[in-house]
Chain A
């Protein structure tokens, strides 16, 4: 425990040091990122104790904040999430050191590192906090520091708008979290988590669950509360968006799981609700991702999809507990937590590689890029591995977590009634989301890294250096290894989720060992697949030995002068699907009506706005605005009246108390 607190101390101290060294961008970069890396290594070491000796450390200190106490603890659930936070933060910090070189002399690097370090410290504190006040303080620390990080390029109008949207969204989310904790603390003596718990059939239980879902769902990006996410993630600098997408939104998932441990036996309809919104989030998230032209926006929507998959898995777990099917519960929760970890690896990597592409080319517009694999081979191969993993294709880690969700569902396909129908709808929507993901990421990888450069942006691109390359390679290796070795980490995850699933740890491990055999089979098949590929490649090599290999232009069906601009673009690649689902996507098109025989200039653009933002939140915001306008007479700037208001308020309060 003390090492964990020490690492928090290092984070804050190095952040302040980076801020103090603001004069020199280089030094403050080293101080900030070095601090994060050291703190994360320390933190990871302390986690080894938890995993190795199953010792859940805790610490409880009095604190003079009202209702608060400095009570922290690391159990296995916290440890798993903390491990993800530490690994991804260290890698993003290393990457950021390289990435921010671009902004040296133009931006305030020191304060950016201060916010970054506070963000990391905030996330770690959220995960270890065991007191509601401490939790909310850390939560706000995390939200506000990431708000400032999003505003890194705040002079840009769109970025400023994104930041504002994010601030409002997290404010609304926190409001619901306050409600959750007040409901939970009703019967408890203090705001410590240890005393929390609502027993029996109290309707407050369901109310707390709904509030937690809205509050944490806003952070996690569950539809329809996701609207801030596709704005804020692309706006932030890439190492920050990687951290936000890979880790920060997962604190929402962590919070939801933690709250579930206080609520006792869940009602089955919570599970249905979670699965329902999970399905919507997964399918619509990836469909919107497919329609995007901006690489980072595409990745942000794909994060929403993955949060949907995680929500489905957690919903299966909750449903399992609700209907006393602990097999289902443990596998569901395990699949959810495993997907949290896996998604952190591949989405972190994808965002970082997107950052390298942006750093080198200066654009995130997919249709302007092309042929980058030749110029940035390491980044390209990492992006390819990330794409395979995120599509859930074997033998990488994305497949394993989806495999577990399918497994939980198939085990219940033969059940009676509602459970079977739910399982089937999960199966078919995961299949649909998987097919969309394949379309989306074959587009992203194929258009950006393959073919010929589509514009002048690409010509000067090259690898972005060791600092930005190393984290990518590390994460790519993590995707491969955690794909093959999944069976070995399952017992850890099983015992971590046992508290949520309401089973003793040993029982959860036993249940999870029942999926060991298929997982080991999958690993064996993965390895033999690789061996088979090697064999086929070897055969090709032997045949081609001493034969001439020639190079020429791409066969273009007889047309003599193909140019790079004639290639298929990302927009044209996804157009058939976008058109087919136009009822949902409502893509706006502009231009491109060909007139005459030799049209000399044509322009064509499509925009896909978020339907939830446009059809729910915009009217809502307009309504709030109008209401506020009505109340404007109340606030007119006359001091005397304001004093009168205070006076009236006081009298009312007195009367109420009497």
Chain B
């Protein structure tokens, strides 16, 4: 029975960069442009993989190791995330801790690689990244706690394999709040508007993009791919709330799941086109909204 799990895992690895194409196309349509092809990120990654490398003389091997470790960490995290309500590649008791801490490991290395360049721009990005994580991480934890309590389970696969209908019917308002919190954390962790703007590199307000300013070639390809996978795995948690197990058979379920991920990407594109980025000082407040939503969600499960 491992076949489907491996197939799902491979499928997520392959499809994830596609979603960025969807986001960018949505934004282009809103801006009245034709936009880049859907597969643009694949082209970018392949092109970058063909390049040679340029490193700053300031950097140390940490700078080279960081994209590798961060990509490895998100892939391990991906293996813990369920797909369309089906079990993930690996699942065990309490695996959601490993999931969140793998993302934290990836963040740690991106941050120290940014500090490794000695550039004050990247230092700024790194500083903001760790600041916002302080608010986003507890919110993510609490949302998962609320779901875990509702499901009575402690592994990501078990939490999300509960049929969506029974979850919504017995814990409707709670799930609604958790969705809100997830969405905010999803936007923040993937450096999306209104927290961060992925479009511009060189402004003082940037976070993720400015941290990878000095990466090039293969390193940048790894970083971009890691970002795409992270988008996929946090997105699939969000979508996972809607998905129960086996409703129409594996094939159709997978198609529905991927279509919903594309819809999510469209929503992100719409948010990016219609909202402005928040002032940096306001971002913590925005993230605290997520924290507050998840606290209320937890309280709702306590009845």
Contact = CB atoms under 8 A, between A and B. Distances in A.
B137 A432 contact: yes
A529 B76 contact: yes
Contacts of A580: 131, 284
A572 B57 CA distance: 23
A554 B69 CA distance: 22
B300 interface: no
Given A438-B107, A438-B108, A528-B76, A410 B148 contact: yes
Contacts of B108: 388, 391, 393, 438, 442
B142 interface: yes
A428 B181 CA distance: 15
B137 A434 contact: yes
Contacts of B54: 549-552
B10 interface: no
A313 to B, nearest CB: 15
Interface stretch (A25-33, A487-495, A535-543): A535-543
Contacts of B222: 536, 540
A432 B104 CA distance: 12
B90 A521 contact: yes
B76 A532 contact: yes
B59 to A, nearest CB: 8
B111 interface: yes
Interface in A400-428: 402-403, 406-407, 410-411, 413-414, 420-421, 424, 427-428
A567 B53 CA distance: 24
Contacts of B254: none
Contact of A536 (B59, B68, B124, B302): B68
Contacts of B112: 384, 442, 445-446, 450
Contact of B53 (A515, A537, A550): A550
A374 interface: yes
Nearest to A394: B101
Given A442-B126, A450-B112, A394 B105 contact: yes
A568 B121 CA distance: 8
A553 B95 CA distance: 42
Contact of B138 (A435, A525, A575): A435
Given A403-B98, A439-B131, A573-B127, A393 B105 contact: yes
A556 to B, nearest CB: 6
Interface string B211-226: 0011000110010000
Contacts of A421: 302
B97 interface: yes
A399 B102 CA distance: 10
Given A406-B94, A421-B302, A450-B60, A547 B52 contact: yes
A411 B149 CA distance: 10
For the residues of A in contact with B, the DSSP-based class is helix
A403 B202 CA distance: 39
A580 B101 CA distance: 24
Contact of A394 (B53, B98, B124, B284): B98
A554 B124 CA distance: 15
Given A420-B302, A536-B71, A567 B145 contact: no
Contacts of A413: 145, 148-149, 154
A403 B133 contact: no
Nearest to B135: A435
Interface in A134-180: none
Given A450-B116, A568-B123, A424 B145 contact: yes
Which residue, A402, A446, A518, A525, has most C-beta atoms of chain B within 10 A?
A446
Contact of B104 (A393, A525, A540, A564): A393
Contact of B55 (A394, A431, A550, A577): A550
B52 A544 contact: yes
B190 interface: no
A436 B135 CA distance: 10
Interface residues of B, number: 74
Contacts of A515: 93
B298 interface: yes
Given A518-B94, A547-B53, A552-B57, A451 B118 contact: yes
Nearest to B210: A557
A450 B117 CA distance: 8
Contacts of B95: 518, 521
B120 interface: yes
B134 interface: yes
Given A446-B111, A551-B56, A533 B68 contact: yes
A46 B94 CA distance: 37
A525 B57 CA distance: 35
Nearest to A565: B120
B53 A549 contact: yes
A221 interface: no
Contacts of A248: none
Given A450-B115, A451-B117, A439 B134 contact: yes
A592 interface: no
Contacts of A518: 92-95
Contacts of A402: 97
B30 interface: no
B126 A568 contact: yes
A391 B58 CA distance: 26
A436 B65 CA distance: 23
Contacts of B141: 427-428, 431
A522 B102 CA distance: 11
B244 interface: no
Contacts of B36: none
A173 B95 CA distance: 41
A572 to B, nearest CB: 7
B62 A406 contact: no
Interface string A625-654: 000000000000000000000000000000
A576 B128 contact: yes
Interface in B37-63: 49, 51-60, 62
A371 B133 contact: no
Contacts of B119: 554-556, 562, 567
B94 A540 contact: no
A592 to B, nearest CB: 17
A574 interface: yes
A548 interface: yes
A332 to B, nearest CB: 15
A576 B302 contact: no
B143 to A, nearest CB: 11
B154 A411 contact: yes
B226 to A, nearest CB: 10
Contacts of B98: 394, 403, 522, 525
B72 A393 contact: no
Contact of B134 (A392, A435, A445): A435
28 contacts: A371-B58, A384-B112, A391-B108, A410-B154, A420-B149, A420-B302, A431-B100, A432-B138, A436-B134, A442-B115, A446-B115, A450-B115, A518-B93, A521-B95, A528-B76, A536-B68, A543-B49, A548-B53, A549-B54, A552-B57, A553-B57, A554-B57, A573-B115, A573-B123, A573-B126, A573-B130, A577-B131, A580-B131
Interface of B: 49, 51-60, 62, 64-65, 68-69, 71-73, 75-76, 90, 92-95, 97-98, 100-102, 104-105, 107-108, 111-112, 114-124, 126-128, 130-131, 133-134, 137-138, 140-142, 145, 148-149, 152, 154, 202, 213-214, 218-219, 222, 284, 298, 302
Interface of A: 370-371, 373-374, 384, 388, 391-394, 399, 402-403, 406-407, 410-411, 413-414, 420-421, 424, 427-428, 431-432, 434-436, 438-439, 442-443, 445-447, 449-452, 515, 517-518, 521-522, 525, 528-529, 532-533, 536-537, 540, 543-544, 547-557, 562, 564, 566-568, 572-577, 580
Given A427-B141, A451-B116, 4 more contacts: A388-B108, A431-B137, A554-B56, A568-B115
Q: Lowest 9 A-B CB distances belong to which pairs?
A: A568-B123, A446-B115, A451-B118, A439-B130, A547-B52, A521-B92, A554-B56, A431-B141, A450-B116
